[in-house]
Amino acid sequence: MRPNVPDTPAWNALVEHAEELGEFDLRAAFAADPERASAMTVDGADLTLDYSKHLVTADTMSLLVALATEADVEGHRAAMFGGEHINATEDRAVLHTALRAPADVSMSDAADSGENVVDDVHDVLDRMAATATRIRDGEWLGHSGESIRTVINIGIGGSDLGPVMATAALAAFTADHLDTRFVSNVDGDDLGEALRGVDLARTLFIVASKTFTTQETLANAGEARARLVEYFDGDDSAVAAHFLALSTNAEGVAAFGIDTDNMFGFWDWVGGRYSLDSAIGMSLMIAIGPEAFRAMLAGFRAMDEHFLNAPLERNLPVLMGVLGVWYRNLLGLSTLAVLPYVNDLARFPAYLQQLDMESNGKRIRLDGEPVVGETGPIVWGEPGTNGQHAFYQLLHQGTTVVPADFIGVLQPHHDIGEHHDLLMANLFAQTEALAFGKTADEVRAEGVAEHLVAHKTFPGNRPTSTLIAPKLSPHLLGQLVALYEHKVFVQGVIWGINSFDQWGVELGKVLAKRLVAEIQADDPAPVTSHDSSTNALVERYRAARRARLG
Ligand code: G6Q
């Protein structure tokens, strides 16, 4: 089947190549070339990518890199770092790379007459560091004069997933005397549980919202504020010592009742899902300390520099990006599993789900035309080895081929018994089994009864990347996040889409607002304004609500 891809020289060459390649066999490829692994292993900053277990030849990679060149990844990369308004549908620059630029680097929004945004970034970072240090050192006092013990970040989507993921990833670096909690869902059980057992006199709420208009966040923050004021016998002035805001919307913050002295700002050129390294990372900075936070920023920067400077054929984000395009467009595979063999990265797949799917889940190109062929993959995953005891069955023997990124570190934080050897042995065993499988003859040779041979045969040829790093440190985490940010960018450029807007999340938000009004209306008349399914569901809920509230 000829894949449905654009008709350009590099695409056409790839389509032809895919057809010629036919049934690629990893066993044969490794047998034919003893240098395959070393030729297909590349370093970038502290990360090593082995992509030799992919369904590609050296020619495939050259053609894929030619595709990236044809799409002008390098030109788009320069435009992004140069502050051009590549987020054209929102007329915004995309400058999250400025958030980790050293103070002596100058970057600017191209529409803003060259004003250096890196100075603003460092001003905010310095203020964040001063406040985080006071909180960590017990010098920031609550309304009744006690130091802070619990920090509760209230935010959702891009204002939650990054800090949640990173606080878990860097658990080994967090302060023992501080408990960091996260509330995102408008399900009251989320806030209810986060507040369970906390001493409000020693609790700091951080309201993280770029727009400061998000329904869920304002509902949670409003309730937290009400609880705090009630705790202090109706004394509104308590809010100042117990609330910080992270936002681009100073007016919204003030209207909510948080003093803008307690606000840490960022800018419209930071997308929500690209904001972990902005003020949105405040809860993380308090947990790990300013020095570790700055080390994470330096890690981001190290990967930015690799992305900027390494030749495309040895550039990790480019290689991972084009491999994704190969599977999505040429081989018709629709998902990507991310499988960290690093338990602290448990939330990394969920973080990448937003980064990738919100960025590249698009069907209209920047020129307004529908895309030709597929765009962003469905991203999912869980840490190994846990996943091995669950969904790996499908990876090995299912009817769907799932390309996967395996991530491992050479050194654990807690070097307990032989745990790390077992963990890494499992990682290597899985990628080996996925690549090479087990033939029917091999199964027979083990003396397996004939009627079970097919059941015990593994087809192999299941493609994986292996990413290896020395140790999960703040610096390494920054590199890892930036690697995937730039991978997503490369793919967005090749697909000709805008990776930086998110109109797809709007419709549901608008409909939800209308439905809230209908659900809460005193009018006992049945709801008829929707389809019959939605009307009936709303009616059922309204009846239960009337009974619940009396
Ligand atoms: C991210 C998205 C989205 C956003 C949330 C929260 O790129 O735009 O996940 O981060 O909707 O938005 P606020 O930070 O404005 O509350």
pLDDT tens for 307-360 read 999 999 999 999 999 999 999 999 999 999 999 999 999 999 999 999 999 999
Q: Return the SS3 of 468.
A: strand
Probe residue for ligand 1, chosen from 210, 211, 510 as the CB with the greatest number of ligand atoms within 8 Å: 210
Residues 114 and 372: their CA atoms lie apart, in Å, by 37
Lowest mean pLDDT among 192-196, 287-291, 536-540: 536-540
Strands 263-265 and 203-208: unpaired
Residue 127 burial (C-beta neighbours within 10 Å; 0-12, 13-18, 19+): middle
Q: Return the SS3 of 135.
A: helix
Q: In what order do the strands lie in the sheet with 179-183?
A: 179-183, 150-154, 203-208, 243-247, 263-265
CA-angle at 49, arms to 46 and 51, nearest 5° = 175
Probe residue for ligand 1, chosen from 214, 266, 280, 354 as the CB with the greatest number of ligand atoms within 8 Å: 214
Catalytic site positions:
358, 389, 509
Within 13 Å and on the Cβ side, how many CA atoms surround 234? 0
Question: In 220-301, where do the E strands start and end?
Answer: 243-247, 263-265
The number of helix segments (H) and strand segments (E) in the chain equals 22, 11
Return the CA Rg of the chain. 25
Residue type, 414: H
pTM of the model: 0.97
Instruction: Yes or no: say if 82 and 504 are a contact pair by the CB < 8 Å rule.
Output: no
Give the residue with greater pLDDT, 517 vs 76.
76
Q: For CA atoms 491, 494, 500, 505, give the dihedral sign.
A: negative
pLDDT for the residue numbered 329: 96
CA of 159 to the centre of ligand 1 (A): 6
pLDDT for the residue numbered 142: 98
157 lines ligand 1 (CB under 6 A): yes
Q: Which residues contact 465 (CB under 8 A, 6 or more apart)?
A: 49, 50, 51, 53, 54, 320, 323, 403, 404, 405, 406
Reported as type and span, the H/E element at residue 351 is helix 348-360
Strands 179-183 and 464-471: unpaired
Residue of the CA atom closest to atom 10 of ligand 1: 158
pLDDT for the residue numbered 7: 85
Structure tokens belonging to residue 157: 């989507």
CA of 447 to the centre of ligand 1 (A): 57
Q: Which of 466-475, 503-512, 535-544 has the highest mean pLDDT?
A: 466-475
52 lines ligand 1 (CB under 6 A): no
Residues β-bridged to residue 379: 336
Q: Which atom of ligand 1 is nearest to the CA of 211?
A: 15
Residues β-bridged to residue 182: 153
Residue type, 173: F
502 lines ligand 1 (CB under 6 A): yes
pLDDT for the residue numbered 2: 47
Structure tokens belonging to residue 92: 């915004």
Give percent of the chain with pLDDT exceeding 90: 93
Other C-beta atoms lying within 10 Å of the C-beta of residue 202 = 16
Question: In 291-422, where do the E strands start and end?
Answer: 335-340, 378-380, 404-411
Q: Which atom of ligand 1 is nearest to the CA of 274?
A: 7
Residue 440 burial (C-beta neighbours within 10 Å; 0-12, 13-18, 19+): middle
Reported as type and span, the H/E element at residue 183 is strand 179-183
For residue 92, what is the DSSP state? Answer: B
Q: Return the SS3 of 61.
A: helix
